[in-house]
Structure 1
Amino acid sequence: MSIQRNIRILSLFANIGVAEARLNEIDGVEVVVANELVKRRAELYQRIYPHSKMICGDILDDAIYRQVVDCCLENQVDVVMATPPCQGISTAGQQIEDDERNSLTIPALHAISDLRPRYAILENVPGYLKTSIVYNGEIKLITDIISDKLSAHYHISFNVINTDDYGVPQTRERAIILLSRRDQPIWQLPNKHNKKVTMREVIGNIPQIDPFVKDLDSIRFHKLFPKYEERRKVALSISKWNVPPTHIFRQVRAMRYTPTGCTAFDNEEFKPIKANGDFVKGYHNTYRRQNWDTPAYTVTMDNRKISSQNNVHPGRPIGKDEKGRMLYSDARALTLYELMKIMSLPDDWPIPSDTQEAFLRRIIGEGIPPLFVKQLFCMIR
């Protein structure tokens, strides 16, 4: 009878630990050391994961790097997980070729080289696999640098996956680079699921939630949403993060007349308008309701706005106005709780109650769904 050994992980660029939120569901798997540059994120990580050793600081600083490596050696880390910032590469970012963040893979490779863990994973956006950086005075593909530096000791596989193939109710493409030390079994991707999980399955049982419209007086607001308070109380009874989003009237009005899966730009009458009454010119993935019967679109960092990419609740027909035009419910962005469900974060994820919602929304838009990460680590458990 073989005895399974525990898996001790170093999490680099850990943020607040979205990726590792479900690893505690696997016996013997734990993040023992983590590193994050931004103090606010590092402090929140430590509150969520009090048993991990969080080292806050710049991994490019020799003293911080040495502290991370020494702590890993002391704790016998045998897996390195690194998710370097992707804003310089992501199609949702500015795609700046010489963005210094594109080079943050290098200290992760140094850590793998110095620690010689059994396994390592690098995760990023798909464009990561085609990105070049300056390394030792030469412009080289990141993938070539990884191979040159580590292939003597590791079997390396370069993959592009979509998380909706693995039971995550969200379409999110990621580059996944798996490294297996040559004396270990090869780390492989989990099997794809036969069926995709839809938004209806994950958030379809959440009752209607009206938005708060900040630029209407109370009389007009309550005429528009007479059950706002009642619905708000029901929403908060489900989760303290199920808070009605705040929007402006002209955007809410456009979405009230927009069917499921459609954009307000296609409305015959109530199209998106600016404050001066001019029509908005924008992409048709904005002012768009999501679909009930597919996985959600990719959650981005700017997920609180109706005017940003694919952020609006699918909605349901709720009747007609006085002129016979169909109205639709939930003319709003998804609540933070709904986003957590779509990101496959567990309901009991111990987020401190004093965490700011806007901060959490942005962080969640940066993360990789933890349900996929859990399945991935089950492959070596």
Structure 2
Amino acid sequence: MHELIGISMFSSAGIAETYLKDLNIQIKLANELLQERANYYLHFYPQVDMVVGDIMSDAVFSTYMDKAITLNPKFLLATPPCQGMSSLGKKDYVEDYRNYLIFAVLKVIDSLDLDIIIIENVPKFLKLVFPYNGQLLKIIDILRLKYSNKYIIESHIVNAKDYGVPQSRPRAIIKLYKSNYSWDMPQPEKEITLKTAIGHLPSLKNGEHSDIKYHYALKHSPMHVEVMSHTPEGCSAIKNDIYYPKKPDGQRINGFHNTYNRMRWDLPCPAVTTNSGMISGHNNVHPGRRLPDGTYSDARVLSLLELLIVSSLPENWNLPENYKENMVRTLIGEAIPPKLLYKILSTLDTKTHVD
């Protein structure tokens, strides 16, 4: 594959871009709304020109486009946030400002002669409707109306666990590409279980640090440690008869069946969220192992190293020395596992014969 000069939008810390260089895709320009996220991006990619600010503002968009036009990029990666968007048939789509971020992507496509565009989001993104020419249309229909004479346009829902990532993480992928490229979807692979991915790492007690980089346990409350120590693999402490989560006054905490819940060794990691550091979150607790006294080890969330592994990030990831763990967990929870994006783009190639 020849070198592709690329740009990214809604770039956050650039986690999605981790392995793009291995595919000869060189991102030269990025945009991120928040300075703190942009700082992480610039730590990982100091050579990239980062435009910080709201891409929906005229000034920021103009700055971004001036730089993009100079680069003449052929590749665009866009991951517009979509929390708050409404589903087909609902009328509150105008309530959330974030609904319109996708239109900034369309403006960029309109302004450049791109060869390859990939838009990534949560699966419900494909079901949402947007105001376009007096109608409410799904994004794939808008794209086909605007660009079907220039690009082959496809949409797919994929799960990271089927492509070499030890995590169940469904994502929506939209591909636009010119006809002189071939771009099949990769073949699904055998799932990688948590036992295979992280089972070799040593057990950790509450707040314990190992001598392995990033493999340390967060400090959890005594109540959380107690209830999870009495909760076996794949189970929730919410359902325990004796050792269940309690409020300070002793009252039982009610929660969903997958809160205070241990993962299973024989399955991929459940979807990593932005609150992966909270025992009370959904499916956040290490699977643990039964101890001789009948309790269970590792009454904790995944260590940062374990989180990197199940998110397909390098185990020696070069985090800033002063990184904030809560922020890093948030960034990982927001991002597509980069190996999934790598696998999807690995099949991209130029055709020897144009149809």
TM-score, normalised relative to structure 2: 0.92
In percent, how many aligned pairs have the same letter? 38
Matched with 1:199 is 194
Cα pair 1:86 1:124 within 8 Å, conserved: yes
Counterpart secondary structure, 1:122:
strand
Shift of 1:202: 1.3
Give the Cα–Cα distance (whole angstroms) in 2 for the partners of residues 242 and 134 of structure 1. Answer: 47
Counterpart secondary structure, 1:317:
coil
- Per-residue CA deviations over 1:224-274 (Å, capped at 9, x if unaligned) read xxxx5xxx2xx2x211x3231121111111100111111112323212211
2:250 is the counterpart of 1:277: yes
Cα pair 1:12 1:35 within 8 Å, conserved: yes
Matched with 2:55 is 59
Counterpart secondary structure, 1:9:
strand
- Per-residue CA deviations over 1:53-106 (Å, capped at 9, x if unaligned) read 111121112232222223223223111100001222499xxxx74322122111
Give the Cα–Cα distance (whole angstroms) in 1 for the partners of residues 263 and 26 of structure 2. Answer: 35
Give the Cα–Cα distance (whole angstroms) in 2 for the partners of residues 298 and 99 of structure 1. Answer: 25
Counterpart secondary structure, 1:40:
helix
Counterpart secondary structure, 2:292:
strand
Matched with 1:77 is 73
Judge which range, 251-260 or 132-141, deviates more: 132-141
Counterpart secondary structure, 1:319:
coil
Shift of 1:137: 4.7
C-alpha RMSD of matched pairs (Å):
1.7
Counterpart secondary structure, 2:110:
helix
Matched with 1:238 is 212
Counterpart of 1:348 (choices 316, 321, 327) is 316
CA gap 1:272/1:296 in 2 versus in 1, 3 angstroms: same
Cα pair 1:210 1:329 within 8 Å, conserved: yes
Give the Cα–Cα distance (whole angstroms) in 1 for the partners of residues 271 and 148 of structure 2. Answer: 33
2:3 is the counterpart of 1:6: yes
Matches within 5 A, 1:289-308: 289-308=262-281
Cα pair 1:22 1:345 within 8 Å, conserved: no
Matched with 1:148 is 145
Letter in 1 for 2:247: K
Counterpart secondary structure, 1:156:
strand
Counterpart secondary structure, 1:31:
strand
2:223 is the counterpart of 1:250: yes
Cα pair 1:209 1:330 within 8 Å, conserved: yes
Give the Cα–Cα distance (whole angstroms) in 2 for the partners of residues 377 and 67 of structure 1. Answer: 28
TM-score, normalised relative to structure 1: 0.86
Give the Cα–Cα distance (whole angstroms) in 1 for the partners of residues 67 and 345 of structure 2. Answer: 22
Letter in 2 for 1:200: K
Give the Cα–Cα distance (whole angstroms) in 2 for the partners of residues 24 and 154 of structure 1. Answer: 24
Give the Cα–Cα distance (whole angstroms) in 2 for the partners of residues 90 and 336 of structure 1. Answer: 33
Letter in 1 for 2:199: G
Matched with 2:343 is 375
Query: Mind listing any 5+ residue stretches in structure 1 that lack a counterpart?
Result: 213-227, 321-325
